[in-house]
Amino acid sequence: MRSNVSEHPVGRLSDAWRFAVGTGRFELALRRDYQDSLALLQREIGFRHIRGHGLFSDGVGVHRLYEYRGERHVRHNFTYLDQVVDAYLELGIRPFLELGFMPAGLASGEQTVFWWRGNVTPPRSHTEWADLVRATVGHLVDRYGLAEVRGWPIEVWNEPDLTDFWQDADTDAYHRLYEVTAHAVKEVDAALQVGGPALSPGAGDDWLPRFAEFVTDRSVPVDFVSRHAYTSGPAQHVPFGVHQTLAPAGRLLEQFASPRRQLAGTPLAELPVHVTEFNSSYRPDNPIHDTAFHAAYLAPVLAAGGDLVDSFAYWTFSDMFEEQGVPTTLFHGGFGLLTHRQIKKPTYHLYAFMSRLGDQVLARGADHLVTRDDSGRVTVLAWAPVDVTGRDPVDGHAVRLSLPVAPARTAFLLRSSVSEEAGNAWRPWCELGRPASPTARQLDLLREAAEPARRHASLPVVAGRVELDLHLTRHEVTLAEVTPVTDETPPWWDERRLLGGPA
């Protein structure tokens, strides 16, 4: 059955998917290959903010202890911080600052997370922690200007509801940290944006209401609320990786919607909601991220997520992502890998497709999104349904639409697709024997295989409409761009004469 798309917009497409993207630990941005990868991302997609862990961890070296005349002193050192932020701004992306983890010289304990040992204990001195926050934020204001830094959200810690990320998942201790931090930020400038609590998907329904009650009762500043969203089950470990079950992608949208539901009727009900991490799996060593399945799985989330939250940040953009150690394979956790010559993944292409949609929404469906831009170009993002159990994969799917176009005799169709066979470097990497250190020739092959399939056609326009039939293969995501044609063919042109034949 063909769906008739109205010529009248039903809304505008939110760019909440583009507001922010995740990254690995902060100091990875000092690497040239990382910066090259981010430059590619910004050139082809263009995110506004970037968020990662470890701003205050020892690898960045902001909090430096020293002894002078027998007394303990602290020096705040911004050498690496400045280099990273300078690089971000040069590439047209701004920080979404996450304040954590605890510097070793300020930590109250030795509990750490990840191989690079991010300390997750409260500060031994909240006064010294407040000094660190004020000094850092104040330095950023001095260096980049108040008007600039007012546009950078500042998030307090990461997933304090999990014992892995906050000692004992102590709610009261986090509330105290948040209070001290928020006041320290506002002492630099009252218009700076501070928020939290960056909860994990496993946080109980009481965590956010208790946070709202705390900040309300004590008049603690809060400008936005944040949480994370994932759909993966327990990790099934294999050497240097994991496999996990997945819930249907709609579960991500349910998690996006939960903060507004939990905060209804509270003073925080109307605050912006940022999902500062989302993905299928939180594990960088789960190969599901590298597959065509993953792009089709996330397509409905990107198409609808902006109706529920102010932003949702993919975790993470790059395979330079070392939570579980230095990567041991070509593919590892992000949706692009420039260290191996710009090999892109299907999920990268999904985001690139999103960046080419128009802002006027003409129609939404369970398997498609139709938009139009001011030039009259109509764009269709369509995706094949996926089976998260893997037992009954969908091998063929059709999307049939009747699209309104501006007056013309014909329209030009450009269709770009990723699937199991196209735009999917994972498949040929497997067929090449999964080389751990591909040769230059193998890398060239993989880079070429990673490009989407593209095709084009001329479509007739009848009564101001184009009939578009999209036949999708297994795990395919496709972008169809339909542009009305102004025919400028000269009257003497005759295709039959191309090889010197008679008129």
Q: Which pLDDT band holds residue 334 (cuts at 50, 70, 90)?
A: low
Q: How far is Cα 268 from Cα 350, in angstroms, rounded to an integer?
A: 33
Nearest to 279 by CA among 346, 229, 334, 226: 229
% pLDDT > 70, the chain:
97
- Residue 274 is encoded by which pair of tokens? 């940022």
How many CB atoms sit inside 10 A of residue 486's CB?
9
All residues at 6 or more sequence positions from 389 whose CB lies less than 8 Å from its CB, including other chains? none
Angle between helices 292-304 and 250-263 (to 10 degrees): 30
Question: 227 pLDDT band (50/70/90 cuts)?
Answer: very high
How many whole angstroms separate alpha carbon 36 and alpha carbon 95?
17
pLDDT digits (tens, 9 = 90+) for 243-277: 999 999 999 999 999 999 999 999 999 999 999 99
- Contact at 8 Å (CB) between 115 and 322? yes
User: Which residues pair with residue 154 across a beta bridge?
Assistant: 97, 194
349 pLDDT exceeds 90? yes
Query: What percent of the chain is modeled with pLDDT above 90?
Result: 80
Q: Which residue has the higher pLDDT, 92 or 322?
A: 92
Indicate whether 500 pLDDT > 90.
Answer: no
Alpha-carbon gap, residue 476 to 463, rounded angstroms: 31
Query: What would the DSSP string read from start to end of 338-402?
Result: GGGTSEE-HHHHHHHHHTTS-SEEEEEETTEEEEE-TTS-EEEEEE----TTSSS---EEEEEEE
Render pLDDT for 430-454 as a digit per residue (tens, 0 to 9). 999 998 888 999 999 999 999 999 9
Using DSSP, state whether 224 is helix, strand or coil: strand
**Three-state SS letters, 403-447:** EECCCCCEEEEEEEEECCCCCCCHHHHHHCCCCCCCCHHHHHHHH
Alpha-carbon distance of 370 to 479, in angstroms, equals: 10
> What digits encode the pLDDT tens for the residues 45-72?
999 999 999 999 999 999 999 999 999 9
Q: What is the pLDDT of residue 338?
A: 54
pLDDT higher than 90, residue 285: no
Chain position carrying tokens 């993207």: 21
Best CA proximity match to 201, nearest among 252, 249, 248, 250: 252
Residue 390 has pLDDT above 70, yes or no: yes
Is residue 335 over pLDDT 80? no
Two tokens, residue 124 = 């031994």
217 by Cβ neighbours in 10 Å (0-12 / 13-18 / 19+) ranks as: exposed
Average pLDDT along the chain: 93
Model-wide pTM > 0.85: yes
What is the band of 316 on the pLDDT scale with cuts at 50, 70, 90?
Answer: confident
Output the CA torsion 19→37→115→276 (10° steps).
10
Model confidence pLDDT, tens digit, residues 178-203: 999 999 999 999 999 999 999 999 88
Distance separating alpha carbons of residues 258 and 205, to the nearest angstrom: 9
Over residues 162-173, mean pLDDT: 96
Q: Which residues belong to the active site? A: 159, 277
Closest by alpha carbon to 155, among 188, 126, 178? 178
- For 61, the enclosing helix (H) or strand (E) is none
Rounded to the nearest angstrom, the gap between the alpha carbon of residue 110 and the centroid of all alpha carbons in its chain is 31
The pLDDT of residue 333 is above 70: no
User: What's the confidence (pLDDT) of residue 308?
Assistant: 97
Across the range 329-343, mean pLDDT stands at: 64
Candidates 264, 194, 196, 203; CA nearest to 226 is 196
Q: How confident is the model at residue 281 (pLDDT cuts 50, 70, 90)?
A: very high
3-state secondary structure 241-284: EEECCECCCHHHHHHHHHHHHHHCCCCCCCCCEEEEEECCCCCC
Supply the pLDDT for residue 331: 64
Alpha-carbon distance of 113 to 232, in angstroms, equals 20
More confident residue, 395 or 269: 269
